[in-house]
Chain A
């Protein structure tokens, strides 16, 4: 599936629920599907700044594909990272760099997280894009 196909699928899934409590339950379930980072990478180098909760994100680069594993000490945050990884993991650097992440807006994640928390989400996206940029540069 393309990045946009996955985004559309997520938007559809979330649109099944009107109540934010149900959406949170979905996020909690998604968090359980997160490809969890190896504990040895749960160190400062892989910690993303700017979140109320701790988020570790670890990239791996093979055959021009970046895959991510991650973890968080908060479960809702874990769900949010899981969504980002669903969309952006196992992609080429080019795909990640050109991705337009409209699902965040469409499922109401941004509006439903206060600015500081939303910054956490944006920090995660920024970090993923930075890794893509770095691998893209190495390749050239």
Chain B
């Protein structure tokens, strides 16, 4: 098992300085840093076997296609999907949800139908559904939350009806860190034959997520939030759904036969992968998943929980600091505000101390509105962070307080 120094040494960027101070990177919820193995893999793709996939008869195209399909198999294994054909590559979580909202809407949604989301969603799991609803005359229903940042499960049950055509909720809130009860949410929906989409953007990187065990109908995530390259993401869908859904984009590679009268589509998963895919991204993602498996997902979950407990403890000691999101089941994210000090001021000063946090609404304005705030400071930690860095954050916050007092 690698110790923390060895883990940190795997991520070249973590040893750099900003403003002449050691970088403390607490913006992992926005994007994670990349281990050397991922950077090397991307380099290798372009230096050794770059060629368009599924096209050429030549050696490089074969090598590239094989690496891309191996990446698909790696994703399947990682999330324990039943079939490789159920793994579609996309540009990211946002791309996945938009595509699905379009295809699902075209196929299944009629006037008066309802889609259920939660009040904790990222804009990427709100706006695509609003767009689809306005196109189809459907209605968006929202599961309410409480002051601790948890969803109201009874209200969720009340929202489900024969009109509900899909439930789409986050695995974890990007703004508050709340882990949603996705197993229970899925079971309740399934008891009424309603399919479920889980937005795994903030969940996949923090532990084991098993498609067959959890029985989600759809699951989406982004490569760059799990130590992989940006511009690659995954849309998992059960075969029974994907085979029924129409493609969301037309183009090369997704077709079986094209004439000007009629086009028949290629089989899964290619039906949904029109045009040249981001194959270097997929291959890089595969390397990232290997890295995560090598560290061990249980190990990562344990390390991150230790960091969460320590960070919560250290920040709670600070007078006038309020943590938003106080449920017991959280990812390693702490969202907070200092009494009377704007999140922007806090973020700017922390930045000058080398501490990278996110400030603002975190693309989750409804969550901020619920708490009647304009935004928070968010420290999103992951397994390569240390307690020493949390101490630096606590010191930094004290400095902020002294400057703006």
Contacts and interface: CB of A to CB of B under 8 A. Distances in A.
Q: Are A and B a genuine interacting pair, yes or no?
A: yes
Does more than half of chain A's interface fall in helix, strand or loop, or is it mixed? helix
A25 B348 CA distance: 12
B345 A75 contact: yes
Interface in B332-391: 341-342, 344-345, 348-349, 352-353, 359-360, 374-375
Nearest to B360: A52
Contacts of A53: 342, 344-345, 374
Contacts of A28: 403-404
Contact of B403 (A25, A52, A73): A25
Contacts of B345: 53, 74-77
Contacts of B375: 52
A74 B359 CA distance: 12
A41 interface: no
A117 B351 CA distance: 13
A20 interface: yes
A121 to B, nearest CB: 13
Interface of A: 20-21, 24-25, 28, 52-54, 73-77, 117
A73 B404 CA distance: 12
A24 B403 contact: yes
Given A73-B374, A75-B404, A52 B349 contact: no
B151 to A, nearest CB: 28
B404 to A, nearest CB: 6
B19 interface: yes
Nearest to A54: B374
Chain B: number of interface residues, binned into ranges: 10 to 19
Contacts of B19: 20
12 contacts: A21-B353, A24-B348, A24-B349, A28-B404, A52-B344, A52-B359, A54-B374, A74-B342, A74-B345, A75-B345, A77-B345, A117-B348
Contacts of A24: 348-349, 352, 403
A77 B349 CA distance: 12
Given A52-B344, A53-B342, A77-B344, 7 more contacts: A20-B352, A21-B352, A24-B352, A24-B403, A28-B403, A74-B342, A76-B345
Nearest to B348: A76
B362 to A, nearest CB: 12
A54 B361 CA distance: 13
Most buried by A among B348, B349, B359, B375: B348
A24 B341 CA distance: 15
Contacts of B344: 52-53, 74, 76-77, 117
Contacts of A76: 344-345, 348
Contacts of B353: 21
B239 to A, nearest CB: 42
The 5 closest A-B pairs by CB, nearest first: A74-B342, A74-B344, A53-B344, A52-B344, A20-B352
A70 B378 CA distance: 28
Contacts of B342: 53, 73-75, 77
Nearest to A113: B348
Nearest to A73: B342
